[in-house]
Structure 1
Amino acid sequence: MKKIIFIVCLVLLFSCNKKEVKETTFSKNEFKQEIAGTEKPHNAINYSGYYKEAQQYCKSNNLNHNQFILIDLGVHSGLKRFFVYDFRKNAVSKSYMVSHGCGENRWSGTESKENPVISNEFDSHCSSLGKYVILDRGVSQWGIKVNYILKGKEKSNSNAASRAIVLHSWEAIPTDEVYPEGTPEGWGCPAVSNESMKEIDELLKTDKKVLMWIIKS
């Protein structure tokens, strides 16, 4: 009889310990899920092929040999995705926040923060991919009142000039990353924050005919 009672006690003890382990494991998994939901994703995209092609393109087309700008619209808009690449140092010297076009979504919203629609069509309010040459410095009604004319060099962005696609600043664009929130979307222009534009303006006033390449990785 005592032996039977002893075995029953062991079974009950084992069951309780197993239940506690399950409950503890579940709690840890829940904690991990909560952390994963708020953690900023690591941007591990290898742009070396783009850098090499851009350098060759600049040499072949008599563009600025010091640096170029790469904008990756495949990156979440709440993260920095406007990169100034220094050919001399073979490294990114600056990175900034930048907007993309809202398309059929509401202007200044963030609905397409993860996957913007791309188009070269008139009145599409979309961003266009491809290589651009940054030309003359002009006056803007936005931001710090400075813009730069963009000339599309490919079929995918051939309407840039007639669509009035320019590089400018906008008060709505944040300077720092806001992920998982997005950056306000405009009508297709690559717009940066006022503070960022002040730095970019100094760069472009010194270096002429700079290549801007907009991609979607």
Structure 2
Amino acid sequence: MKRVILTTIVLLFCFLLAGAAWYYSKLKTGTRTTHRTANITASPALMGRLNSRANQLQLYAKQHAYNADLCFLIDMSIESGRNRFFIYDLQKDSILDAGLVAHGSCNKNWLSGRQYGNETGCGCTSLGKYKIGNPYKGKFGTAYKLYGLDSTNSNAFKRFVVLHSFSCVPDEEVHPAPICQSLGCPMVSPAFMNKLAKIIDQSNKPVLLTIFDQNK
């Protein structure tokens, strides 16, 4: 009889111990900060477009002493609710990460589709290569000055087109819904901006950004 009671007590203790361990693991999981990695699965067509732009950018980077290891590519032919800002590894021809980015409204309440411009005050996205310059603190927090390197974006600095974040840009894809629009700046979510800032700040050479549209 004593053996049965002792066995029962041992089993009950083990059960309670297992239950406590399970509860602790759930509690720990519940308090852990999580962040879903961006969906960077790309179709062959998208990889082809990115690879083509990346090859051109890498050659330009080597010729002008820019960062030739990685770059930022924005494909404006993709809808705004999908990831279209790509952190691209130039050495491995691969996408490191991706996020949402707003395009310019061209000073309209809501721009249907995409339009591009380079005139001062146009409020549109400008296609072309950009050198990412120094950071500064603005009304949107940390932002990076952009210098247009092509005739299609030569007025970027004069237009105050900068790389910055804004809370209206989600962290994850929302397609088929669109996201908010900017006045020509490549505007990303605060979380994605933190990733970009680390790359830019740790780079010994200026990082290049290209905004392109395969239909233009």
Q: TM-score range by the shorter chain?
A: 0.7 to 0.9
Could you tell me which amino acid in structure 1 is paired with residue 181 of structure 2? E
Deviation at 1:89, TM superposition (A): 2.3
1:196 counterpart residue number: 192
Partner of 1:212: 209
Contact 2:86 2:95 in 1 (8 A): yes
Contact 1:99 1:192 in 2 (8 A): yes
State whether residues 107 and 183 of structure 2, in contact with CA within 8 Å, keep that contact through their aligned partners in structure 1: no
For residues 90-123 of structure 1, what are the alpha-carbon distances to aligned partners after superposition, in whole Å with 9 as ceiling and x for unaligned?
A: 21101110000001421xx4x43xx211000111
For 1:62 and 1:98, locate their aligned partners in 2 and report how far apart those are by CA, in whole Å.
27
Within-5 A mapping of 1:19-30: none
2:172 aligned with 1:176: yes
**Where does the alignment leave 5 or more consecutive residues of structure 1 unmatched?**
1-41
* Residues 132, 152 of structure 1: 8 Å contact kept: yes
Equivalent residue, structure 2, for 1:133: 131
2:84 equivalent to 1:88: no
Paired residues in the alignment total 169
Structural mapping, 1:31-180, within 5 Å: 44-45=45-46, 46-47=48-49, 48-106=51-109, 109=110, 111-112=111-112, 115-142=113-140, 145-180=141-176
Amino acid at match of 2:148: G
Report the Cα offset of residue 186 of structure 1: 1.0
What are structure 2's unaligned runs of at least 5 residues? Answer: 1-41
- Give the RMSD, CA atoms, in angstroms: 1.3
CA contact (8 A) 1:77 1:99 kept: yes
Does the residue aligned with 2:97 lie in a helix, a strand or coil? Answer: strand
Kindly name which structure, 1 or 2, has the bigger radius of gyration based on alpha carbons: 1
Take 1:127 and 1:86, find their aligned partners in 2: how far apart are those partners?
A: 24
**Counterpart amino acid of 1:201?**
A
Distance across 2 between alignment mates of 1:61 and 1:77: 31
Shift of 1:66: 1.5
Query: Counterpart of 1:184 in structure 2: which amino acid?
Result: C
Runs of 4+ in structure 1 deviating by more than 4 angstroms, as ranges, are: none
Shift of residue 65, structure 1, vs aligned partner: 1.5
Output one character per residue of 1:122-146: Cα deviation in whole Å (capped at 9) or x when no partner: 111100000000010111211xx10
Percent identity over paired residues: 33
Q: Distance in 2 between matches of 1:199 and 1:187?
A: 23
Q: Distance in 2 between matches of 1:88 and 1:138?
A: 30
Shift of 1:154: 0.7
Whole-Å separation in 2 of the counterparts to 1:213 and 1:131: 4
Q: Which SS does the other structure have where 1:100 is aligned? A: coil
CA–CA separation in structure 1 for the residues paired with 2:69 and 2:97? 14
SS at match of 2:208: strand
Deviations 1:138-186 (A, max 9, x none): 11211xx100010001110000001000000001001100101111001
d(CA) in 1 for partners of 2:71, 2:117: 23
